[in-house]
């Protein structure tokens, strides 16, 4: 049976069309959206349908010189995608890949179909979609001139880690966040299709938080152990936020940051055997409201010197909050965690359950590493949690206008770099 031309999006873009803004095909995607909008307006005026404003139409706010998805209020769902570049990192391959993926991200986060999108209707409701890209150490070492100026360091080994190769470091990462799982699945599919010519997929780590609207805005999320997770966290409104999160120094990386990824598996069957008193003592907070054991409200400052009538500390010095507490201002960083829960019939309870812990910082060695070392040395919670995945990435600043994410690093201006 005869038909129209078959569009192979990846073949088309590999020939360079994406580098010129998708000339010749971009209008087709826009037309689909426009026609659908006109049809909806006509149907509404005719009284055949009743449209009401939807949360799905909401766009994530612009983040200026930073990539969106870092200070963006956390969305309900995440898909963290890790790729290894085929044949090893090459400048031409990574540049072409990032041009293509940046174009995808620009369109999809605006509620528009990706170039030659075969399911354009699935892009209509962005639901605060954000796509945040980062590069692993191998990319910086091989493709970026003077990578030491950027300051990305690999994580040291931590006692107690049980790292699995399936969740290991990759060359490129994309953090895709959205309030709607259908929109998220479509965005993920577009990115995976368009990266396939340049990189092999190592892993996709999916996670979730409480659905938007379930709890009041600003409520601290709970992990699947039932505890509030992230009470002590940097707020973008704090004066110290920029200094602790955004990297300083090399002008090519101005507006960038570093991402630490830790996949933490929970022993839920073992945790189920711990009574409520034991759980609260392990963490150092009450389950009901998240308040420290020495306080009345979640955000009360813990009193680590307080003792009970027998002279014992009210908050165990080996409790999680005591060990995770920053000792210096430099040990503060931005946490952005998500729960995960996947069916696994080989495990007790039939599920692999845990936390996808994401941390953004200006200096991995000075902020994250000291805190994690304390937790690895002693933390009551270690009996029930183990890190099974670990990676670190340099998150470049936002793409230049009409450019791509990472362009400042992969195509630097030599004079500017030498004067940085």
Q: Which residues are catalytic?
A: 229
Distance set, CA 279 to CA 125, 320, 341, 379, 385 (Å): 41, 11, 20, 13, 13
Neighbouring CB atoms inside 10 A of 377's CB total 13
Task: Give φ, ψ of 231 to 5 degrees.
Answer: -60, -50
Whether 175 and 358 have beta carbons less than 8 Å apart is answered as yes
- What is the CB neighbour count within 10 angstroms for residue 145? 13
Q: Which residues contact 9 (CB under 8 A, 6 or more apart)?
A: 115, 116, 117, 118, 193, 194
Q: What are the residues facing 134 on neighbouring strands?
A: 173
Rounded distance between C-alpha atoms, residue 416 and residue 350, angstroms: 55
130-135/334-335 β-pairing:
unpaired
Identify the three-state secondary structure at position 143: helix
**Packing angle between helix 91-109 and helix 181-195, nearest 10 degrees?**
160
Contact 391, 136 (CB under 8 A): yes
End-to-end CA distance of the chain: 62
| Token duo for residue 234 | 């940097």
Q: Kindly compute the dihedral angle of the four CA atoms of residues 124, 127, 128, 133, in this order, to the nearest 10 degrees.
A: -70
């Amino acid at each position: 049976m005869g038909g129209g031309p078959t569009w192979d999006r990846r073949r088309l873009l590999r020939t360079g069309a994406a580098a010129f803004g998708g000339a010749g095909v971009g209008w087709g995607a826009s037309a689909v959206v426009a026609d659908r909008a006109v049809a909806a307006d006509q149907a509404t005026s005719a009284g055949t349908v009743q449209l009401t404003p939807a949360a799905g139409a909401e766009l994530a706010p612009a983040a200026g010189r930073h990539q969106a998805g870092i200070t963006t209020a956390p969305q309900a769902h995440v898909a963290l995608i890790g790729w290894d570049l085929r044949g090893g990192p090459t400048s031409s391959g990574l540049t072409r890949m990032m041009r293509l993926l940046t174009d995808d991200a620009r369109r999809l986060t605006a509620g528009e179909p990706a170039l030659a999108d075969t399911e354009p209707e699935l892009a209509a409701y962005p639901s605060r979609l954000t796509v945040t890209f980062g590069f692993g150490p191998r990319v910086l070492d091989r493709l970026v001139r003077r990578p030491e100026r950027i300051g990305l360091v690999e994580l040291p080994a931590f006692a107690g880690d049980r790292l699995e190769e399936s969740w290991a470091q990759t060359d490129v990462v994309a953090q895709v966040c959205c309030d709607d799982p259908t929109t998220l699945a479509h965005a993920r599919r577009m990115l995976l299709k368009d990266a396939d010519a340049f990189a092999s997929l190592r892993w996709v780590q999916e996670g979730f938080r409480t659905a938007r609207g379930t709890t009041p805005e600003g409520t601290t999320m709970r992990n699947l152990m039932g505890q509030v997770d992230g009470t002590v966290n940097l707020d973008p409104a704090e004066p110290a936020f920029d200094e602790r999160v955004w990297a300083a120094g090399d002008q090519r990386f101005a507006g960038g940051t570093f991402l630490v990824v830790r996949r933490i598996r929970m022993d839920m069957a073992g945790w189920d055997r711990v009574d409520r008193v034991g759980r609260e003592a392990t963490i150092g907070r009450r389950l009901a409201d998240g308040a420290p054991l020495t306080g009345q409200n979640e955000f009360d400052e813990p009193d680590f010197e307080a003792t009970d009538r027998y002279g014992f500390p009210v908050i165990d010095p080996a409790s999680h909050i005591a060990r995770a507490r920053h000792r210096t201002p430099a040990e503060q960083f931005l946490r952005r965690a998500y729960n995960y829960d996947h069916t696994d019939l080989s495990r007790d309870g039939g599920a692999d359950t845990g936390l996808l812990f994401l941390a953004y910082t200006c200096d991995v060695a000075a902020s994250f590493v000291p805190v994690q070392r304390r937790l690895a040395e002693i933390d009551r919670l270690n009996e029930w949690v183990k890190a099974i995945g670990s990676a670190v990435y340099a998150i470049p600043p936002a793409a230049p206008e009409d450019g791509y994410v990472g362009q400042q690093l992969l195509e630097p201006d030599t004079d500017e770099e030498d004067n940085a």
